[in-house]
Amino acid sequence: MGMIHCDKVTLTYDGLGDAVSELSFTVEPGSIFALVGPNGAGKTSTLRMLATLLPPTSGEITVDGYDVQRDREEVCRRIGFLPDHFALYEQMTPVELLDFFACCHDVPAAVRGERIERLIDELDLVQARSSKIRALSRGTRQRLGMAKTLVHEPRVLILDEPASALDPDARVRLQNTLVGLKKRGLAILISSHILPELADIADAVGIIDRGRPVYVGPLEQAELPDEAVYTLEVARPPKARPVLDAFDDRLLSFLEVGRGRFELTVRGGAETVGDLVEKLVLRGARVTQVAPRASRLEVVYQASMGRGRQPREAAS
């Protein structure tokens, strides 16, 4: 059993529809699990159930073997939860806030100071350490929220849209932090709308739509659609066009979106692209870049959402 284990979890708010329906997944220690889905899919409800804030209507959720409802205290010792829109005590300074939450989490006084200093360094809060929280920017507050979540050294991190308020630099730093935490053995569960960023770090994905799981599993094992869109850049476009025109039927279509920049819809994935690039090189088109237009996670997401919606839409 993994660090987080959800087994057929269902949640209903009004007894009519299920906010989450029969959701099952496992998050292993030292891995990142991305929970993605459109608005209202049930991501936040799932995370709140994991954080002991909502009781599941049915099913079982365990964290490190402890049931989230029966062993709430043990679960809370192991998790760090950062909600989407979280509040902080505005009149405190970051150091006071971290000290308060460390105290609530029973962090021994002997290590508290050292740990707070380390988090302030790691999350780039040095300049804000003595300012009142009400004076901090949104990005700094988000980093402070992250520090608060980590102050008791949890074994499980549950993050709801952690990068929503961060600038590009801060997002990269957050990614690095998460990868570092993953290497330390933490099980991390992230819900986010920013799929390309998750794609770089996620080991497994849970795609949910209208409360129902559409795909749950490792990204590598996800079944990709046969057709894919690639971006191709060449230095000599006039030499590339005849090659593209003459290529076999695995190249379904191509569109020149800029000078020397093509969007190719191909069947057969990387193998087809390899053959095509070989021919372009032989004809002297000088290929400067070729890459899939969407990340693997995006492709899996779009494919899963398409598959997940079709039968229900057809039925309706």
Partner 1 sequence: MTIRKAVFAILDRRGTTRACAAFVQRTLGKRHAGQLLLYSAGIVALLLLLASWIAGVQRAEAELHPYYGSYERPELWETLALADIFALVLLGIGLLVVVPAAIASSVAGEQRSGTLEQLRTTPLRPLGLLLGLVLGAPARLYLICVGPLLLHLVAGLLGGTPLHAVLMPVLVLAVGGLAFGLVGAAVGLTQRGRGAMVTLGLAAISAITALWSAAIAHSALARWAFLHPWGAVHAQMLSESELYRQITMGSYTAHYRFTDPDFVDALALAPLLALVLFGAASVVIARASCRRLAAPQVPLLSKLQALMLYSLAAAAVVLPSLFDPPRQWDSAAGCAVACQLLLLPFMTVLAALATPGHDLWAINLRRMRRPGAFSDEAPPHLLCLAMIGAYVVLTVPCFASVSGSCNYLCHRMLAAAALGLVLTATLPIYIHFGASRFVSHRTRTAYVFGIIAHLGVQVAAVLLIAAGAIDGRDDGALEVMFVKLALTLAAAVPAWVLWRQRALRERTLAPVERC
CA separation for the pair 211, 218 (Å, rounded): 20
Tokens of 72: 């709430």
* Residue from 25, 33, 81, 215 binding partner 1 (CB under 8 A): 81
First to last CA, the chain: 38
Buried b / exposed e across 165-187, counting CB within 10 Å, b at 16+?
bbeeebbebbeebbeebbeeebb
Which residue(s) pair with 227 in the sheet? Answer: 267
Q: Residue 188, SS3?
A: strand
262 closest CA partner among 275, 271, 249, 252: 252
User: Quick one: which of 89, 121, 134, 227 contacts partner 1 (CB under 8 A)?
Assistant: 89
Token digits of residue 16: 């009519």
- Token pair for residue 82? 């950062």
| Residue 163 interacts with partner 1 (CB under 8 A): yes or no | no
Q: Which is nearer to partner 1, 103 or 255 (CB)?
A: 103
Instruction: Determine which residue in the list 86, 112, 124, 201 makes contact with partner 1, applying CB under 8 A.
Output: 86
Kindly state whether residue 301 participates in binding partner 1, applying the rule CB under 8 A. no
Q: Which is nearer to partner 1, 128 or 264 (CB)?
A: 128
Q: Give whichever of 101 and 301 is closer to partner 1, judged by the CB atom.
A: 101
Which residue has 């709801």 as its token pair?
160
**Which of these, 141, 305, 134, lies nearest to 212 by C-alpha position?**
305
Determine, following the binding rule CB under 8 A, whether residue 138 of this chain makes contact with partner 1: no
Identify whether the C-beta of residue 110 lies closer than 8 Å to the C-beta of residue 154: no
Report if residue 316 touches partner 1, rule: CB under 8 A.
Answer: no
Q: Which is nearer to partner 1, 8 or 134 (CB)?
A: 134
Which tokens hold the place of 273? 């692209």
Q: Indicate the residue among 27 and 251 with the shorter CB distance to partner 1.
A: 27
| Contact positions with partner 1 (CB under 8 A) in 91-130 | 92, 96, 99-101, 103-106
Look-up of token digits 């708010």 = 13
Q: How far is the CB of 250 from partner 1 (least distance, A)?
A: 47
Which alpha helices (H) appear in 60-108, and where do they start and end?
Answer: 72-78, 94-104
Would you count residue 249 as binding partner 1 (CB under 8 A)? Answer: no
| Closer residue to partner 1, CB minimum distance, 52 or 140 | 52
Binding mask 19-58 for partner 1 (x = CB under 8 A): --------------------------------xxx-x---
**65 part of the interface to partner 1, by CB under 8 A:** no
Cβ distance to partner 1 smaller for residue 13 or 253: 13
Residues in touch with partner 1 (CB under 8 A): 12-16, 51-53, 55, 72-74, 76-77, 79, 81, 83, 85-89, 92, 96, 99-101, 103-106, 148
